[in-house]
Amino acid sequence: MDTPSDSPVFTTLGLAPDLVDYRQALERQQQLHSEVLAGTAPSTVLLLEHADVYTAGKRTEPEDLPRDDTPVIDVDRGGKLTWHGEGQLVVYPIIRLADRAAVKDYVCALERTVIDVLRRDYGIESTRVEGRSGVWITGDGPDRKIAAIGLRVHHSVTTHGLALNCSNDLAPFDNIIACGISDAGTTSISAELGRTVSPADILPALREQLAEELRPFLPGAAGPTATCDATFQTSPDTPTIGAAR
């Protein structure tokens, strides 16, 4: 897929069965961060599925950790503990924000991308929930998270990003307090629809929508026109807490 010059470059690192080791993806992010910061690489979005792993953000508490001896990788993003694995589409934008004060609007753009694609392409109504980061399904039972967001912004260049549950097994979330939230559940596109929707299925639509959402944040752009509501700003689970800007 050709990418307009005013859009980030999209790179698919690996989808099932070619799962990507978390540490390898982290090294790729760090390398790209240095290159984007130095101006030797364009803003880039990595798309992938990870091999099974738990990762702990800066705000993870001991009580959030797995209830067995499953290994956990500490990472430099905001947020708390989460799981990545096969069937979950992970999106890592490594982009230079033209306005370093636009982090909240950037997070909302990631959330809005998921919300719009789920509604338009799959008929799933999702939303933000006040006081909680990510994208949620509400009503018809308890609140359940379908996409998680955790970021780091250093010298105005972003790393980490969003994880959208597509066709993954939800059992690994039962072994932890996902994102530090004990009174809500998790779900996936497949669980909501009763049919399998894989990361490869949703990737083209998500990539197209995300390109539109990210374009206003890039250097030389006019800036975002869609403003973020108060939901993100009042969240105690703000995924960018602890990020160096």
* pLDDT class of 191 with cuts at 50, 70, 90: very high
pLDDT in tens, 112-141: 999 999 999 999 999 998 877 899 999 888
* pLDDT class of 142 with cuts at 50, 70, 90: confident
Q: What is the DSSP string of the chain?
A: ----TTSPEEEEEE-TTS-B-HHHHHHHHHHHHHHHHHTSS--EEEEE-BPSEEEE-TT--GGGS-SS---EEE-SSSS-EEEE-TTEEEEEEE-B-SSTT-HHHHHHHHHHHHHHHHHHHH----EEETTEEEEEE-SSSS-EEEEEEEEEEETTEEEEEEEEESS--SGGGGGS-GGG--S-EE--HHHHHTS---HHHHHHHHHHHHHHHHGGGSTTS---SSPP-HHHHT-TT-TTTT---
Q: Tell whether 244 is covered by a domain.
A: no
pTM for this predicted structure: 0.88
Q: Tell whether 108 is covered by a domain.
A: yes
pLDDT in tens, 86-106: 999 999 999 999 987 899 999
Say whether 79 counts as a known binding-site residue: yes
If you average pLDDT over residues 56-70, what whole number do you get? 76
Instruction: Give me the pLDDT at residue 2, please.
Output: 40
Q: Tell whether 192 is covered by a domain.
A: yes
Say whether 83 counts as a known binding-site residue: yes
Does residue 5 register a pLDDT over 60? no
If you average pLDDT over residues 148-168, what whole number do you get? 96
Q: Which residue has the higher pLDDT, 145 or 65?
A: 145
Say whether 163 counts as a known binding-site residue: yes
Query: Could you tell me how far CA 98 lies from the centroid of its own chain?
Result: 20
Q: Tell whether 39 is covered by a domain.
A: yes
Average pLDDT, the chain: 86
If you average pLDDT over residues 52-81, what whole number do you get? 80
Q: Which residue has the higher pLDDT, 222 or 173?
A: 173
> Which are the catalytic amino acids?
179
Instruction: Give me the pLDDT at residue 241, please.
Output: 33
Q: Tell whether 138 is covered by a domain.
A: yes
Count Cα neighbours of 105 within 13 Å in the Cβ-side half-sphere.
Answer: 17
Say whether 82 counts as a known binding-site residue: yes
Whichever domain contains 110, its CATH number is 3.30.930.10
- Overall domain count for the chain: 1
> 183-220 burial by CB neighbour count: b if 16+ within 10 A, else e?
eebbbbbbbbeeeebbbebbbebbbebbbebbbbbbee
CB 175 within 8 A of CB 66: yes
Q: Tell whether 157 is covered by a domain.
A: yes
Q: Tell whether 98 is covered by a domain.
A: yes
* pLDDT class of 187 with cuts at 50, 70, 90: very high
Instruction: Give me the pLDDT at residue 176, please.
Output: 66
Does residue 227 register a pLDDT over 90? no
Q: Domain containing 110: what range? A: 9-233
Say whether 150 counts as a known binding-site residue: yes
